Structure 1
Amino acid sequence: MDLSNVAVFMDRDGTVSKEIGYVNHPHRYELLPRTGLAIKKLNQSGIKAILATNQAGVARGYFKEEMIGQVHNKLEDLLEAEGAYLDAIYYCHHHPRVGEGKFKKECNCRKPEPGMLLQGKEEFGIDLERSYMIGDKISDVEVAHRVGAKGILVLTGYGIGDYQNAQDDWKVEPDYVAEDLFDAVEWILMDLEARED
């Protein structure tokens, strides 16, 4: 089964790493348990592992854009130590209502807008209808469905609260609700096998 044009897009905070609010220093950044194992499984399967994260802390003035790069360097180092890697990292530093200058704007990249997933399609020839988005907010599921992908809600980060308290307000339903990123990846691999049969 050729999975080279399949991607798993992942939210960052609360999905790949601990949700601690705005990460304004690399020392505050920590992976969630089993994240390295989950991404390594994707690497071994040939599926593209892509980070897609809203980082409006820049627009809000909480930190400079360079901080995002520093945090992502730490993320890549932590994954490398576990034998895993990301194929791409996309982030949106805009906010439609807050901030100044170029950071305050309506954009196509802030989830649930699909810009980051479309960027993956453009850069890697991704078949979005065979692909997935994993996140701890229902907006991550929403962005997946906008491009024909499957959306998975993890119960880490904001996910457990969203699942238990906000379901009545959801505009979309997750294709799967996972304990964590590793559980989500295991389900994806089974789902892909079932779809290919």
Structure 2
Amino acid sequence: MIEVAFLDRDGVINVDYGYVFKREQFEFIDGLFTICRLLHDLNYELIVITNQSGIARGYYSEQDFLDLTAWMCEQFKKQGVPLLDVFYCPHHPEAAISNYRQKCRCRKPSPGMIEQACEKYPIDLQNSILIGDKISDMEAAKAAAIGKFYLLSQEIVEEQLIVSARLDNLLQLSYFI
């Protein structure tokens, strides 16, 4: 069994400028690679799980996303923290492109991408973590029974959704893991 640090993309890996799909728009979050090296040193595998409704909305193509993802993975590798995998949801229930218009199980807050990862890899969810910047990330982690989940945001959390910690920046994660 492997322990995984699930990372959301926009808002955790890169600055969320809204529908980022070009290298020129992609700005890594401060402290990202420092935290990823720490996670890697603690024997966590790194998996990205990301909603990409920009595909469904027609803002960019699935190939645009895949090209940027390949470049992003290469940057992680250059930093000595390779990603095990990237799972993404291109769907949206109100998509402009009919092929992607659906209410699916992979779009967060549903846990589908985490379940896909568990089908592909022997993941110990109880000893894994998730880092996200939206309540939907936390809900997906809770639905999948991930051991700890961290909110990188000032967003108000409802009482029934208890996060492991709220982070003002990624480097604060080092105090909790």
TM normalised by structure 1 equals: 0.82
% identical aligned pairs: 31
The match for 1:176 among 160, 165, 173 is: 165
The match for 2:117 among 116, 120, 124 is: 120
Amino acid at match of 2:75: L
Residues matched between the structures, number: 176
Amino acid at match of 2:97: E
Residues 77, 83 of structure 2: 8 Å contact kept: no
Following superposition, the deviation at residue 135 of structure 1 comes to 0.5
Higher helix share: 1
Q: Matched residues in 2 for 1:119 and 1:38: separation?
A: 25
- Aligned residue number for residue 142 of structure 1: 139
Amino acid at match of 1:61: G
**CA offsets, 1:73-103, max 9 Å, x none?**
2212322332221111111000012222221
Q: Matched residues in 1 for 2:173 and 2:124: separation?
A: 19
Following superposition, the deviation at residue 125 of structure 1 comes to 0.8
Name which of structure 1's ranges 77-86 and 48-57 shifts more when overlaid on structure 2. Answer: 77-86
Q: Which runs of 5+ in 2 are unaligned?
A: none
Q: Which runs of 5+ in 1 are unaligned?
A: 189-197
Following superposition, the deviation at residue 19 of structure 1 comes to 1.1
Amino acid at match of 2:163: P
The match for 2:56 among 54, 59, 62 is: 59
Q: Matched residues in 1 for 2:25 and 2:159: separation?
A: 31
Q: Matched residues in 1 for 2:172 and 2:78: separation?
A: 21
- Aligned residue number for residue 3 of structure 2: 6
Secondary structure of residue in 1 paired with 2:161: coil
Amino acid at match of 1:179: D
Q: Matched residues in 2 for 1:110 and 1:23: separation?
A: 18
Cα 1:64–1:113, aligned 2, differ >3 Å: closer, same or farther? same
TM normalised by structure 2 equals: 0.91
Secondary structure of residue in 2 paired with 1:76: helix
After TM superposition, the runs of 4+ consecutive aligned structure 1 residues lying more than 3 A away are none
Q: Matched residues in 1 for 2:63 and 2:116: separation?
A: 21
Following superposition, the deviation at residue 60 of structure 1 comes to 0.3
Q: Matched residues in 2 for 1:104 and 1:186: separation?
A: 41
Following superposition, the deviation at residue 175 of structure 1 comes to 1.4
Following superposition, the deviation at residue 177 of structure 1 comes to 0.9
